[in-house]
Structure 1
Amino acid sequence: MPSHPLPPELVPPLDFSFQPLQSLQDLCPDAAPSPTVAVRFPYTGLRSLAGLHPTLQRLLLHPARLRWLDLACNRLSCIEPVLSTLLGLQSLNLHGNNIRDLSEVQKLRPLSELRRLTLNGNPMEEEPGYRRYVLAALPQLNSLDFSAVTEQERRDAAVWGRAQGRNRPHREQ
């Protein structure tokens, strides 16, 4: 009986959780590129995403088909521009990093397919208007911080975003 490969979305993610990495260049995969559309790098200690594209090209059979990227609980201090080039990304997990500046979210605007985003556990979460700001910048999201986005939230964020000119919310004095 001929074997049929699994559809890429059913192939388990490549999981590098808890592997200590100073950088993505430290990663030396032994296996052939995977057909998966999901990669996990949580709890690896990453401070930078330098070399993300070459790493994905080594790891994935079709890097442009990446749909899910987990970078949770690392030491990232910003949303690096390379993330905005992953145009097929639908789910991005950045919770538990050290991202302080709420305006970093703007770098994700080119990701029109992005539906699920987690940013909780970053210092930016403490900013007034955090959730509205993110939803105004990324109105296509269905889930933010593991919580479904309601239609009312989406409308409120759109109104708020227009009123704010999509600028960073200011702290009340």
Structure 2
Amino acid sequence: MESMKVPFSYKRAKPLDLSFEDLESLSPLPSSLRVFSTGPASSYRMLGAPAKRHGRYKTASVLLSNNRLTGGLDDIRLLVDKLLWQPNALCWLDLSHNQLTDLSDELLGFPNLSTLYLHHNRLASLCAVARINRLPKLRSVTLQNNPMAEYRGYRTAVLSVLKRITRLDFVSVTESERRLLPPIALESFINNYLKRQKS
């Protein structure tokens, strides 16, 4: 999937807010979601929903935080295709405060994804995080308050796997941190370990 030039109007549009909806899965989506209602309940957090075109939202941001999502998001592509006018324009995805234990390869279908919030989940393995390194525009990731964040050297390990990011857990990655990343031999060991974990 190739990246595209995301219209500025999509980037600055209100996010599609599906937070605090008690969602356990992404498919099927219940019709009772606040964002689908026409009354004042649909504007409780973001002061309204983004504009629509032919029944789909013109935005580059989706908030799915504070739900009860589990597993690895196998239906994320289906959800985004159904709700966004330009699904490949997705730049910001907030999945924080859920119960995710893995990350689906379906996330790789969003080539413009630059910001991914994953804090306060149940991610325990660097293998799950390594998958998202293939997102070409990913620059900001949050992973704090996951089991993996409790390990000594967590930040260094994540930065050695996600080389292009410029912010981790809302903190900028400094040049001195980059200089302290593991040498090539250790990096090769980490990559081999990740490959073994996948098979």
Report the TM-score range of the alignment, normalised by the length of the smaller protein.
Answer: 0.7 to 0.9
How far residue 6 of structure 1 moved from its aligned partner, in angstroms, is 7.4
Q: 1:105 to 1:166 in 2, by over 3 A?
A: farther
Letter matched to residue 57 of structure 2? S
Q: 1:22 to 1:132 in 2, by over 3 A?
A: same
Aligned residues of 2:61 and 2:91 also touching (Cα < 8 A): yes
Q: 1:161 to 1:89 in 2, by over 3 A?
A: farther
Q: Tell me how large the CA RMSD over aligned residues is.
A: 2.0
Aligned residues of 2:77 and 2:107 also touching (Cα < 8 A): no
How far residue 103 of structure 1 moved from its aligned partner, in angstroms, is 2.5
How far residue 163 of structure 1 moved from its aligned partner, in angstroms, is 3.0
- Alignment coverage as a number of residue pairs: 163
- Percent identity among equivalent residues? 35
Q: TM (normalized to structure 2)? A: 0.76
| 1:90-146 deviations in Å (ceiling 9; x for gaps) | 000000000111222211111120000000000000122211111111111110001
Q: 1:161 to 1:12 in 2, by over 3 A?
A: farther
From 92, 117, 126, give the equivalent of 2:141. 117
Q: Confirm or deny that 1:19 pairs with 2:42.
A: no
From 46, 49, 60, give the equivalent of 2:69. 46
Q: TM (normalized to structure 1)? A: 0.87
Alignment gaps of 5+ in structure 2:
1-6, 37-51, 195-199
Alignment gaps of 5+ in structure 1:
none
